[in-house]
Amino acid sequence: EVQLVESGGGLVQAGGSLRLSCAASGFTFDDFAIGWFRQAPGKEREGISCISRSPPSTYYADSVKGRFTISSDNAKNTVYLQMNSLKPEDTAVYYCAADFVEVAGISMVKEFEYWGQGTLVTVSE
């Protein structure tokens, strides 16, 4: 059974940093793309970053490029999203999602099959 568990959300002031974690189980990392999505109140869900191991590749949406960094610890089956220079507009529920890289790709235009429960990030002024 594929499971994704996010952690690391919280309240931070603008300009601050947070690191989100996505602990994954039930699948082989090599076959999957793992992405971070977010959804702010009243807004559509946005795919912001994705990583794959085979082939090794990353993707960032323009809204987070240069501020967020995605990485993976393969020994721990965990994907991280380091978020720096946070802005109030980054406030959202952040979700980790996974799917076969051959199905979803990493450009985040296709729907992902497996989802975590989400973690709330709030950035204050």
Tens-place pLDDT, residues 66-119: 999 999 998 999 999 999 999 999 999 999 999 998 888 888 888 899 999 999
Both tokens of 9, joined, read 């959300």
Q: What is the chain's Cα-based Rg?
A: 13
Predicted pLDDT at 103 = 86
Q: Which helix (H) or strand (E) holds 38?
A: strand 32-39
Q: Which helix (H) or strand (E) holds 52?
A: strand 46-53
Residues in a beta bridge with 73: 78
pLDDT tens digits for range 29-50: 889 999 999 999 999 999 999 9
Predicted pLDDT at 41 = 92
